[in-house]
Amino acid sequence: MNVILLFLAAIAAIIIWWLSGQRLTSKPWLETGSVQLPDQHGTERPPVPAVKIGLFVFLGVVGALFSLAVSAYFMRAASADWWGMPVPRLLWVNTAALALSSASLQWAKREAQHGRMESLRPALVTGLALAVFFLAGQIQAWRELTAAGYVLADNPANSFFYMLTGLHGLHILGGLAVLTHTTVRAFSTEVAPDRLRLSVDLSAIYSHFMFAVWLLLFALFAGWANDFVDLCRTLLN
Amino acid sequence: MVEIPSGSIPSAEVEDVELYHPHSWWTKYVFSQDAKIIAVQYSITAISIGLVALVLSWLMRIQLAFPGYFAFIDADHYYQFITMHGMIMVIYLLTALFLGGFGNYLIPLMVGARDMVFPYANMLSYWIYLLAVLILAAGFFAPGGPTGAGWTLYPPQSVLSGTPGGKDWGILLMLTSLIVFIIGFTMGGLNYVVTVLQGRARGMTLMRMPLTVWGIFTATVMALLAFPALFVACVMMLFDRVLGTSFFMPAIVEMGTQLQHGGGSPILFQHLFWFFGHPEVYIVALPAFGIVSDLISTHARKNIFGYRMMVWAIVIIGGLSFVVWAHHMYVSGMHPAFGFFFATTTLIIAIPTAIKVYNWVLTLWRGDIHLALPMLFALAFIVTFVNGGLTGLFLGNVVVDVPLSDTMFVVAHFHMVMGVAPILVIFGAIYHWYPKVTGRMLDETLGQIHFWITFLGTYAIFFPMHYLGLLGVPRRYFEMGETAFVPPSAHTLNIFITVMALVVGAGQMVFLFNLVWSLFRGREAGGNPWRATTLEWQTPQTPPAHGNWGRDLPVVYRWAYDYSVPGAAEDFIPQNVPASDGVTREAPA
């Protein structure tokens, strides 16, 4: 459960940081009158849209989900019947595809901010295609592993591999649905540029997050995470 | 008057939003995106499935007091009743009613918003919740019946053929239903959190929010972080059951055949389950804490004592509740150092909780107490919660927990603290807000009957159970049989408890009748029958119309507890009354 506790500590730090700006020590019973709001001064940044806050909260939930699954992975991996499983070379290609997908969405975000529709469209399509390629590659990797005899129920390492990649794939799939919607809108003529900019922004954030999750999972499967944990253990002892 | 430093207040102001306007009866009342309708839908569904759980508890109690009286209650059915009763009450009733019901109704109105920020996701949240309830209820009609694994669903027994539903549909439906519930809850939960963060009216700083909103908000954040643990556990158990993996399943012989599983860790499931399960206690308790604070303040006509402490205590309890989960696992065995750690954190939670109890009592002290129905339920809550909380201090200690863990003492403890106590708050809250939801008051006489039956009756049920537990009467047993260490008088007590349970259950019919009868015949309530300060009582129409506030959003000038302000014309000043209309106070030197 160390992983989830670390994750929660990070969340707690964010919450404490946020609460510290909320005047929790004020004495509301002594205050009357409407509060002066900062955006009345005109110098402040525009408020963050609610959808964006919603996305960040959702990413917190997804982060908790994967932290818990990884916690379970480590706890189960401590038992004697655990044999590591080979990492198919295809996963490297998939990782590259997901990285490029994330990068092209970042590119799309920049184009959208500058209002350049004609370069926004290819960026979005590239990002979409690469993410689809990633998913197809993951399924191909599953097929290769199954063909090589590494089936789901054989060993807990296999089970975790299929479950974690499956969970991650489902989250990518959900992101793809939204991204497809955004891309279709980018090609339509009557779309408010503000809304489109926000959608592209959110898609980019989500794809970066899922890429980061993938990197951590990949490190786990490749065994680097174990080496790292061993190193920490040695240092502590 | 204290000047508020400008610039340090984060913007909570949103531009007035374009609402989705329904076009037909279907989109107005069925597939509604209005949080108020969704709240009522959530409440009706939760209470309906809760009634099923109530009947199940009757059947269990009948079996305990009159073993064999009903031939159809055999051991399998008994365990199915226990399991479904527990799961329905904790998740599908309490969680759904506090967050989906009260959260949806009260958050937008109390913070001065027109609706939740994502109305469409909010609607989906309800329909997915309904789907989860239907999948759960389908268990009663599935081959083999619902699962009888106990509400904790501990593997390996939960997926083996010795347990009802283990090799049939029961456990599959249960796990699927939980997964669906969590997906639906996440959609709703995002709404509650982001609405509090982004949807507050002008002037509504966090420290001016009513404690109800604080409680629901913190509980939702906790639920969003804790439910994924149950989600992961359910997915992994489904894999074990359907696909033959060994996440939780050790090598095991079932009915003489060696199963394919091997090496899995049942303790891993317990960790995941209780990592969700303990915060769940406070997911139910924190909204109750918040609501009861508002009820007490309103009906004692006095500002809440120690508002800041109350807020801090809610946040601290929320944080601490994530590091105590293993106190549910003392009997599973653990390193003594861990036992010490978890016992310590468990006892530390008593501090912020005690602060809240003291503050409620100090709010009452020299207040102008009106013993209206919501107040009666709030007072009953304090007493019940203190009782249940004190036995929690016993059970939090490893050495006391180990002998008591499998006895009726634990049943008594958690029913007091997270069964009866939150339910009393739910009743109080319904008596309090029903006039806002419907425009009519609930009948006072029927309410009094309901209150006294419920309050005294639940004490008659659960108080003696502590004694049974200390005698060593085990929990989870279908029947006692010949047990040397339990005196025969324990059985007499069991009969008494069952009779009281039947009475209390039947007493709830008075409440249901009252809900329906008052809808048509209740006294007209007017906009603010309790003369309360919070924003939901200041809406231009009662019940509030679509969009809540008419043309202009409210502006908040003061905190939520300006009751009996010296020098004011009335004994309450609503939050949206400007400073010049009320009285301003000097800061004490």
Mean pLDDT of B492-509: 96
CB B404 within 8 A of CB B469: yes
Interface check A118 vs B, CB under 8 A: no
SS3 for B315-332 is HHHHHHHHHCHHHHCHHH
- Residue B265, pLDDT above cutoff 70: yes
Band the pLDDT of A188: cuts 50, 70, 90.
Answer: confident
Neighbours of B301 (CB within 10 A): 16
Residues of chain B positioned with their CB less than 8 A from the CB of A8: 225, 322
**Residue ranges of the alpha helices (H) in B472-572?**
489-521
Domain annotation covers residue B339: no
Residues of chain B with pLDDT > 90, as a percent, come to: 79
- Which residue out of A32, A52, A61 would a mutagenesis test of the B interface target, given it has the greatest number of B Cβ atoms within 10 Å? A32
Query: Which single residue is written with the structure tokens 């009582």?
Result: B537
Query: If we measure between CA atoms, which residue out of A76, A183, A63 comes closest to residue B236?
Result: A76
Which pLDDT score is estimated for A234?
Answer: 81
CB B129 within 8 A of CB B45: yes
Domain annotation covers residue B238: no
Which pLDDT score is estimated for B424?
Answer: 97
Domain annotation covers residue B93: yes
- Residue B318, pLDDT above cutoff 70: yes
Mean pLDDT of chain B: 91
What stretch of H or E contains B468? Answer: helix B444-471
How many whole angstroms separate alpha carbon B67 and alpha carbon B60?
10
Which pLDDT score is estimated for A213?
Answer: 97
Our count of domains for chain B comes to: 3
Query: Which single residue is written with the structure tokens 């003489």?
Result: B256
Which pLDDT score is estimated for B23?
Answer: 77
Interface check B207 vs A, CB under 8 A: yes
CB B489 within 8 A of CB B506: no
The residue segments making up the domain with residue B568 are 554-584
Which pLDDT score is estimated for B580?
Answer: 65
Query: If we measure between CA atoms, which residue out of B515, B186, B577 comes closest to residue A59?
Result: B186
CB B260 within 8 A of CB B225: no
How many Cα atoms occupy the beta-carbon half-sphere of B327 within 13 Å?
29
Same domain, B422 and B569: no
Domain annotation covers residue B547: no
The set of residues, in sequence order, having a beta carbon less than 8 Å from that of A40 and lying 6+ positions away, is: none
ipTM entry = 0.93
How many Cα atoms occupy the beta-carbon half-sphere of B296 within 13 Å?
30
Min Cα distance B314 → chain A (Å) is: 12
Of A76-90, B48-62, B353-367, minimum mean pLDDT range: A76-90
- Residue A40, pLDDT above cutoff 50: no
CA B160 to chain centre: 31
- Dump pLDDT digits (tens) for B523-554: 999 899 999 999 999 999 989 998 898 888 89
Band the pLDDT of A36: cuts 50, 70, 90.
Answer: low
B257 to B161, B246, B418: CA distances (angstroms)? 12, 17, 41
| Domain termination residue (choose one: B166, B183, B204) | B204
CATH code of the region A50-82+89-236:
1.20.120.80
How many whole angstroms separate alpha carbon B134 and alpha carbon B238?
19
Query: Which single residue is written with the structure tokens 């199915």?
Result: B80
Which pLDDT score is estimated for B68?
Answer: 86
Locate the domains of chain A by residue range: 50-82+89-236
Same domain, B81 and B114: yes
Same domain, B519 and B558: no
Residues of chain A positioned with their CB less than 8 A from the CB of B250: none
Q: Identify any residues that bridge with A129 across adjacent strands, giving them in sequence order.
A: none
Band the pLDDT of B589: cuts 50, 70, 90.
Answer: very low
Query: If we measure between CA atoms, which residue out of A8, A89, A99, A53 comes closest to residue A202?
Result: A53
Min Cα distance A119 → chain B (Å) is: 31
Residues of chain A positioned with their CB less than 8 A from the CB of B268: 72, 75-76
Neighbours of A103 (CB within 10 A): 18
Same domain, B500 and B435: yes
| Domain termination residue (choose one: B176, B204, B232) | B204
- Dump pLDDT digits (tens) for B132-158: 999 999 999 999 999 999 999 999 999
Neighbours of A153 (CB within 10 A): 16
Same domain, B56 and B194: yes
Long-range contacts of B549-553 (CB under 8 A, 24+ apart): B549/B112, B549/B114, B553/B16, B553/B112, B553/B113, B553/B114, B553/B201, B553/B202
Query: If we measure between CA atoms, which residue out of B303, B310, B300, B292 comes closest to residue B364?
Result: B300
CA B348 to chain centre: 22
- Residue B369, pLDDT above cutoff 70: yes
**Contact criterion met (CB < 8 Å) for A153 and B260:** yes
| Domain termination residue (choose one: B178, B204, B230) | B204
How many whole angstroms separate alpha carbon B581 and alpha carbon B569?
10
Same domain, B565 and B452: no
- Residue A35, pLDDT above cutoff 80: no
Same domain, B59 and B168: yes
Which pLDDT score is estimated for B240?
Answer: 94
CB A111 within 8 A of CB A120: yes
Mean pLDDT of B297-301: 96
- Dump pLDDT digits (tens) for B40-58: 999 999 999 999 999 999 9
Domain annotation covers residue B565: yes
Band the pLDDT of B5: cuts 50, 70, 90.
Answer: very low
Which of the two residues, B580 and B560, has the higher pLDDT score?
B560
Residues of chain A positioned with their CB less than 8 A from the CB of B4: 26, 31, 33, 35-36
- Residue B16, pLDDT above cutoff 60: no
**Contact criterion met (CB < 8 Å) for A50 and B14:** yes
Which pLDDT score is estimated for B6?
Answer: 40
Mean pLDDT of A189-218: 91
Residues of chain A positioned with their CB less than 8 A from the CB of B265: 75-76, 79
- Dump pLDDT digits (tens) for B172-219: 999 999 999 999 999 999 999 999 999 999 889 899 999 999 999 999
DSSP letters for B390-441: HHHHHHTSHHHHHHHTTBHHHHHHHIIIIIIHHHHHHHHHHHHHHHHHHSBP
CB B459 within 8 A of CB B381: no
Choose among B206, B231, B263: nearest Cβ to A22: B206
- Residue B1, pLDDT above cutoff 50: no
Q: Is B255 left (phi over 0), alpha (psi -120 to 50) or beta?
A: left
- Dump pLDDT digits (tens) for A93-140: 999 999 999 999 999 999 998 888 888 999 999 999 999 999 999 999
Of A174-178, B131-135, B485-489, minimum mean pLDDT range: B485-489
- Residue B339, pLDDT above cutoff 70: yes
Same domain, B493 and B560: no
Band the pLDDT of A45: cuts 50, 70, 90.
Answer: low
Which pLDDT score is estimated for B10?
Answer: 41
Residues of chain B positioned with their CB less than 8 A from the CB of A27: 2, 308, 587
- Residue B87, pLDDT above cutoff 90: yes
Same domain, B445 and B566: no
Provide the 3-class DSSP secondary structure of residue B162: coil
Q: What is the CATH number of the domain that holds B169?
A: 1.20.210.10
Min Cα distance B6 → chain A (Å) is: 5
How many whole angstroms separate alpha carbon A217 and alpha carbon A212?
9
Residues of chain A with pLDDT > 90, as a percent, come to: 60
Interface check B239 vs A, CB under 8 A: yes
Interface check B202 vs A, CB under 8 A: yes
